[in-house]
Amino acid sequence: MSELTRENLFNRAKNVFTEVITLEQDVDALINEFTFDEEENPNGMDKKEVRAIVKAAEVYARNNVEKVEEKIAREQEFLDLYRDLSGEYD
């Protein structure tokens, strides 16, 4: 185990964050690679679809589908309340 010093913590955290930033850039490059562009990538997919697929992969990797389901349920409850109170959907 390494020494528990401020400098050691800083250096290790710096290395982890450098990796995180690199991986975020890799995800952005992946999104660009699969996104339709008339000139650069005519065989690509719609940007919204690409982002949805990448988000699904993130949810899978984080193993937090329950959290997403809870968020959707809260948003649905709000939407139902809005519809009920606004009268716009009668």
- How far apart, in Å, are the Cα atoms of 81 and each of 33, 67, 77, 84? 41, 21, 6, 5
Helix (H, G, I), strand (E, B) or coil at 41: strand
Is residue 90 very low, low, confident or very high in pLDDT (cuts 50, 70, 90)?
Answer: low
Residue 38 has pLDDT above 90, yes or no: yes
Give the C-alpha separation, 34 to 43, whole Å. 8
What's the token pair of residue 39? 């000139």
| Paired tokens of 36 | 């339709």
Q: How confident is the model at residue 64 (pLDDT cuts 50, 70, 90)?
A: confident
Which phi and psi (to 5°) does residue 38 adopt?
-55, -40
Mean pLDDT of 53-76: 93
Predicted local distance difference test score (pLDDT) of residue 52? 97
Does this model's pTM top 0.75? Answer: no
